[in-house]
Amino acid sequence: MNEKLKNLKVKVKELEEKGLLSKIENSLFELKELIIKENKERVLCGMTDICAECGKEGKVCCGSAIEFKYSEQLLIINILLGTNFPDEPEFYDMCFFLTSSGCLLFARDTFCINFICDRIRDKIPIDRLKRLTEIEGLHLQLQFKIEQFLKQSIDHILFFHNDNGMNFSCT
């Protein structure tokens, strides 16, 4: 994972040099705001505490190798949002991104966000879950657009080594 993250940081630099990151600056800011709102809602509805309790019991659902399901683009979004990645995983038999204070990623993938276990379903009222799901939906929609933009940009850099005429947009 470290090698992959190192390579991605090189790609981030290339994207920056080509002036492509400025095109998603506003979208990244908007994404960050949505994720902050979403995380607040998770705290308010009690999900954060339930998951923390589950973690203490060693029953957390963040299994080994889930980190490999993350796309390059989503990891780049996390780099751009300032996520600090460790050199080594905290738990060798779990997801690389799991720490004792929870998931270290700022922008998580659909499969992590949409997972609702029985414990959550039993303890959190449906209307609270619905409110959370609405914010998550907005987050995932925008995140997907940024990922698509990054994919196009990286492909362009890799295959054409030329940024002439690039007019990608994620808005």
Measured on CA atoms in the order 49, 52, 58, 62, is the torsion positive or negative? positive
Quick one: angle between helices 72-80 and 25-45, nearest 10?
90
x-marked contacts with ligand SF4 along 87-116 as a string, rule CB under 6 A: --------x-xx----x-x--x---x--x-
Instruction: Please list every residue from 139 through 168 that binds ligand SF4, using CB under 6 A.
Output: none
CB of 105 or CB of 140, closer to ligand SF4: 105
Least gap, CB of 60 to ligand SF4 (angstroms)? 4
Nearer to ligand SF4, 42 or 156 (CB): 42
Q: Of residues 18, 37, 119, 131, which one binds ligand SF4 by CB under 6 A? A: 119
CB of 169 to ligand SF4, least distance (A): 28
The span from the CA of 115 to the CA of 137, in Å, is 13
Q: Which is nearer to ligand SF4, 79 or 120 (CB)?
A: 120
Please select the residue that binds ligand SF4; options are 12, 54, 79, 138, rule is CB under 6 A: 54
